[in-house]
Structure 1
Amino acid sequence: MSFTVHVQLPYGLDATKTAQEFRQGLCPDRVAYGFHHAEGLCETVTYSVDAPEGWLESLLRKALFKALGFDVMHAWRNREQIERADIVWTMLECDYLGVLLIFALRPWVTAKPVIAQNVWLFNDIARMGAIKRWLSMTLAARAAVLTTHSRTYLGIMRHHLPRSDIRLMPFGISREVFSAKDVPAPADTDGPIRLFSAGNDRTRDWQTLFDAFGNDDRFRLTIVCDWVSDEALKTYRNLDLIRRPTMEQFRQLYRSADFAIVSMVENGYSGITVALESVALGVPVVSSRTGGVPTYFNEDEVLYASPGDPVDLREKVVSCSGQQRRDMAERARQRFVACGYSTEEMIQRYITLSREILAAPH
């Protein structure tokens, strides 16, 4: 079955801009999330375009986004491409809710099926006001299929929308960029244990990480985060803080580490990207036992620590020998390959699901 796809991406991830950043080595995929892998496999693939904005337009779009919780103006500007496609793909709630509202506001236009990928919405639903919650759930219920990257999230979503078709859609990362084949593995040394941690989302638990390893000369900690204060560098003598590295620098940071640490507060969805990138590069992972990571790796493939427990986190690291690290990393890598945790294979899952949706009677 041949079909046309429109990919509605967040404002700021315009495919032209992302392709330029990819050529500069600043992001891992030519199109965000690897959606370009659908090109040649579908009849046509179009991507949302970021309309140029003056200060007033930008203010209005952001105000609507804040009020509604999603980007309806960005969807409206791309409505012609959305309506021409056979099916719409999304990665975030801010995009699929905007698309579904456009269809709801234009009942004379044939609504196209939407694959609605979820990250934060159902984690935040309890904190929403009644009107915003009603609007979000009413629109989400109109999606052809709601997907999530985390098995933990399935039950939460099904609780709120028991009549909807809700499925697990395993995430994927760039196999081209995050490849261990041409990056040497770190050698065992008598020096500090080298730890690497990265992440910008709100679920990162940096304080537990600092409490576990900060100012302990047995460890050298490197983190990548845009919002950790420079004050942390003054507080912890064994900490290096890096902002916005290139992809090549990212690979070297991973591969120079003895462990990648994913420290998180309790949540239903987070930590997956860093865990997959680490595993793809052959780096053993220590993660909080929460978020999305347990969906992807078993207890003998990743070390899991109790969320918010610095003692347990530290013990997981110091009790693991060099050989145990290498064996664990190899088991995780085999899982990565067997389960298809690359962007190419994730996009193939989108294609398979699309064919099922489009073949079903309406």
Structure 2
Amino acid sequence: MKSKPSLSQVLGFFLILATLQSCEPTQPGSWKNEQISNPDKFHKLNDELLKQLKVNDEKQLENIMSNDFINTLYKNRHIELVSNRVKVNDYILLDEYYVVNRYISGDTISSGVKGPAGYSLTYQGATHEMYFAFFVPKDKTIPNQDMIAAVYCKYNYGWKLSQLDVSRYKVNGKTAPELCDQARECYSKGFLIDALNISSSAIDCSRPSDLWKYNSEEDMSNFYNKVLREAYGQYKFPVAIKQVSTHPRIIRIMNQTTPEGVFPMIYYVSSIKLKDTTAIKQENENIKKMIGQTLPGIDQDKKYVLYSAFNESPSGIKTVDHFDMIAKLK
């Protein structure tokens, strides 16, 4: 005759059953990409998010938003900015994380990637369980890319979108750590302005999300500040291009964003009247031949250098006419 199971055996059975039925861990921890045991429900939320962002349907988006997010100030404008990116390009999942939080006030998880390209996520533990999704353009040939970050929390009324942001992820096809490596190479060659411009781009995309922090963020910042100090020490604006007979004077050098990438823009004051476009263009041809002597490296290893000629320095007080030109290097 079989004996009846004891109370402890019955309780143990139901505990095992509950554990097997649960698709998610209950102990604090984080799981990345293929480590996530039940990603389908999150991917359905992501599909719905991208679908509604594509058409900027705020009402439909509210069905997957948390109550707090729905009541956020400037929510509509924020969604519009993200939606504008999705309308232009298709986005795919780069990385995803499922998290069971240890702390309520805040927590940090590591990407598990070592070296400068690795990163960590620092966030407020809004609920016990959270899910993070990071999207980038599907077309990898796009030179300047943004990252869309979506954060979902598990509330007592279900999984809902609690945070959404978009920031620059790549410039000229490179992430912040890759740009910093490129800037260091330019610096080693004595190309100080290139090093400054490229390291500035690295800083611009060093935080592709409010949550995202590269392991090398401090090193990137220190290098940029070092190059900035040296550039200000070496170049006192206006800088005369002495090799050109008309002695144009460079008044500013900055990064200019275009659909084809980010390139140096050189602002200079010319003594030639802007209305004389033939003479202005001829002077610019002479500048292009000599610019590498004034700004070493500026005319190398890039597709374009952009120029803008003025007859007087621009200011915030009045509008100043200018004549723009492009030097194609490749």
Q: TM-score range by the shorter chain?
A: under 0.3
**Greater helix fraction, Structure 1 or Structure 2:** 1
Which of 1 and 2 has higher RCO (CA within 8 Å, sep 6+)?
A: 1
TM-score computed with the length of structure 2 as normaliser: 0.24
TM-score computed with the length of structure 1 as normaliser: 0.22
**Greater strand fraction, Structure 1 or Structure 2:** 2
